[in-house]
Each structure stands twice: as C-alpha cells, then as structure tokens.
Amino acid sequence: MKQLFDDVSFKCSKLVTKNYSTSFSLAVYMLSPTIREAIYSIYGFVRFADEIVDTFHGFDKETLITEFEDEYYKAYDRGISLNPILNSFQQTVKEYNIGDDLIQAFLRSMKLDLIKSDYHSKEEYDAYIYGSADVVGLMCLKVFVAGDNARYEQLKDEAMRLGSAFQKVNFLRDLKDDNLVLNRNYFPGVDLNSFDEKAKTAIINEIEEDFRVAYEGIVKLPMEAKFGVYTAYVYYRKLLKKLENTPCHEIGSARIRVSNYTKAGLLAKSFVSYKLKLV
C-alpha cells in the first residue's frame, strides 16, 4: 500500500529534522499537527542539499547535488521516489502549490557554495541569502496559508525577512567553520581574519532590523503556524543576543550555542506570551 510508504517517507523527514536541528524540530512540534509533516518534508529536502555542499567532503559534491536535483524532478513527474525525503517533499510541493522558482533559487544558492567562497557586494550577498533562506521561508509560508494567495502576498516580505535573519545569525554563529573549514566568507566588506566589534555590531544591527520587520508578519500568521514560528523567532533572538555578548575573537574561534536548559525556558516564556495573546 503506497500510503504506508508515504507515511514512512514523512517519518524519515521528521527524523532528519530531529537529528540535524533540535531547535527547529522543537519549533515544528509547536505547529498544528495538520501542517507539521509538510514542514518536516521541506526541512528534509533543504537539509540534504545543504549537507551535500557543506559536509560530504571527499565525494564529488557537484555530481551529488546534480543527481539530487534530477531525482527530485523525476519524483515530481512520477509522483513517487524511493528516496523517502524526495518522496515526501514532492507531495508537499504539489499539495501546497510551491512554485518551482523557489526550488530553483534554493538549488542555485546551494551550487554557489561549490564554486564561490567570497561575496564582495551586497547584491551578491542578498542574492545568496534569497536562495538559501528567504525562499525556504516562502515555501513554509505556502504551507501556513494553505492556498490563501492573498494572505501569502500579504506576508511574503516578512517571511523573507525572517528567513534572512535566521540565515545571518547562522553565518555569524558559524564564522569559525565557514572561515577555517569551508573557506567561505558571506559578509561583504568584512575581513574575517581581522573581525572586530565594529564589524560585528554592523551585522547585528542589520539582523535586528530583519527581526523587527519579520515580527510584524508573525503576529498575522494563521493560528496553526503562529506559535511554532514565534518559538523559532524567540530562539534565534536569544542566540543573537548571546553572539552580541560574546567577544568577537571568541566568535571566530568557537561555535556559540544556546543550551537545552535555556531553550526549555524560552519555550515556556513563548507559550505564556502566546496564551496571553501578546503575540
């Protein structure tokens, strides 16, 4: 029975989410059960593509990402794939009418990681972030609004800004690995070998403005999505505050994290805010 295979496929996407990101997995769990599977499937797809270009060292990454893309389109055309991650994702794409332009933009940014190590202009930087993060926010928004195109258009700018904020926080958090392991610098005009408080402050101010705009969209989300997205927002704001309070030389030499204990406290505070309709 194909339904059993489909169920297993979505469970595989959930497993990928839980193992690769405890914080995002927690946020997804705060969504309505009616949309959790779809968000898991989106995360599974983007996570695997990202892993290909970031961690599969010693393998032909270009061939792997090309095959991953080809297999996705085969799955979409056939309505099935023996790769459970692609099988669940293609179903979500069809059910929620996720545009292929979003998927292509995402894959373009992933492929850039194979050939580009520095971003010298704001235009390059913005284009990369759009493909690697903003469109993921838009894919999720497609699920959140469940076919309400007017609401999608109303909230798309804020969804993109939230994606941008998350990605820029990740860039700042992963400064050490991006620079020393992957030899990448996403921040235009910033010399990571002489990263200082002035550069860090400018980046943080930019992220804070993204968060400010994004919050305006979070409060307008459907009830099925609001608490889960707000949970992720609160977690990333906490991580940003921790980065702000960390000396710049430590950011470049260690990966800054939020403890599980702190995450539990943030979840409790988020729940209270949500129940008191402060969000």
- Residues 194-227: pLDDT tens digits? 788 898 999 999 999 999 999 999 999 999 999 9
- Which of 144-148, 191-195, 257-261, 268-272 is predicted least confidently? 268-272
Closest CA to 103 of 114, 89, 84, 117: 89
pTM for the whole structure: 0.91
Average pLDDT, stretch 90-101? 98
pLDDT at 267: 59
pLDDT at 180: 61
The sign of the torsion formed by the CA atoms of 87, 88, 91, 93 equals negative
- The Cα–Cα gap between 55 and 41 comes to 20
Average pLDDT, stretch 127-153? 97
pLDDT at 250: 80
Q: What percent of the chain has pLDDT over 90?
A: 75
pLDDT at 274 over 60: no
- Residues 4-33: pLDDT tens digits? 999 999 999 999 999 999 888 989 999 999
pLDDT at 270 over 90: no
pLDDT at 158: 98
The mean pLDDT of the chain is 91
The sign of the torsion formed by the CA atoms of 71, 72, 76, 77 equals negative
HEC states along 179-247? HHHCCCECCCCCCHHHCCHHHHHHHHHHHHHHHHHHHHHHCCCCHHHHHHHHHHHHHHHHHHHHHHCCC
